[in-house]
Amino acid sequence: MQNLYNVNVAALEVLPTPEEIKQRLPLSEAAADTVFQARETIKRILDRQDPRLFVVVGPCSIHDVAAARDYAQRLKALADEVKDTLFVIMRVYFEKPRTTVGWKGLINDPRMDDTFQIDEGLQIARGLLLDLAEMGLPAGIEALDPIIPQYISDLVAWTAIGARTTESQTHREIASGLSTPVGFKNGTNGSLEVAINALQSAARPHSFLGINPQGQSATIRTLGNRYGHVVLRGGDRPNYDSVSIALCEKALREKKLPVNIVVDCSHANAFKDPAMQPLVMRDCTHQIMEGNQSIVGLMIESNLEWGSQSIPADRSQLKYGVSVTDACVDWATTEKMMRETVAKLQGVLSRRSAV
């Protein structure tokens, strides 16, 4: 009978349970307060009780925890500076979906050498999120693996469902039970329909298979998440322009969904060219200045240094603060983008009417 089971499985390695990882790296009172207050702020922005924009900004992916902490310290200072206009969330992506193959992220392969020390990756990821929360900086992640949220979700303020997984039933079910607001990206081809369908699905209760904090298989029954929203990231063409925004507003209204739109300044909206990101952000800012009511958030791929790099065979040759996935704007450009937006939107956001 052995030839019936796990024919293509090389090994099964038991991981620590979510409860065990949380005992090793417990949630502090300061961290819990950061996460709770950030979630409530994002909800108030989505409910139009807070006129500010929220901005999810940070590296395309985290691969160097020391550089991530360096970035976070700088971002916290900038967040405090712009807090009257922008609510800043650090982009802390530990998982990377792949069209074919490639590095799958810090949790999956923390040593970047195909040894896939997932136990180590989970602890590194939770430790970094804990550090950020304790310094008062909220974090946003992309939910990809359905098990990982059990290990880190108590330290997350905002969650994205990526363009490749927005159409996935599994991810819609996960989103329905997450404690954070959730942004659903449009499809990779630009399809808005898959994101609209995802919003409707995630707002409803679901029952699905998962694990509990003790690592046991469990039926998870959710209440539905009413804080889902669309993230426009472009597709076959950019979709941040005023016509695309208007079409998205129309589609949301037709389905009687909240008219809340987040614009991703990178990915297809920037043709994967970081130099385009400031232009996208500037265009969205001008739309708001001219009366747009629906744009509630922005996303920026940003790192300490400009561009991207391939992962070298000799890991000691990695350039500090440079992305190993999508190319990012550098820190100086990030500061300029944020400050320019604040200067233009001072006094504007408070005049927006509720949608």
How confident is the prediction along the chain (355 residues), in pLDDT tens digits per residue? 678 888 899 999 999 999 999 999 999 999 999 999 999 999 999 999 999 999 999 999 999 999 999 999 999 999 999 999 999 999 999 998 766 678 999 999 999 999 999 999 999 999 999 999 999 999 999 999 999 999 999 999 999 999 999 999 999 999 999 999 999 999 999 999 999 999 999 999 999 999 999 999 999 999 999 999 999 999 999 999 999 999 999 999 999 999 999 999 999 999 999 999 999 999 999 999 999 999 999 999 999 999 999 999 999 999 999 999 999 999 999 999 999 999 999 999 998 865 4
Query: How much is the pLDDT for 112?
Result: 95
Query: How much is the pLDDT for 355?
Result: 47
> Which whole-number Å values give the CA distances from 185 to 13, 198, 277, 311, in the listed order?
33, 9, 17, 27
Element (H, E) at 122: helix 118-134
Give the N- to C-terminal CA distance of the chain in Å, as an integer.
62
Whether residue 233 contacts residue 187, with contact meaning beta carbons closer than 8 Å, is answered with: no
Fold of 26-346: TIM Barrel (3.20.20)
Strand partners, 229: 183
CA distance 281 to 284: 5
Q: Which 8-state DSSP code applies to residue 276? A: G
Q: Which 8-state DSSP code applies to residue 299? A: E
Element (H, E) at 298: strand 295-301
Query: How much is the pLDDT for 5?
Result: 85
Question: What are the extents of the domains in the chain?
Answer: 26-346
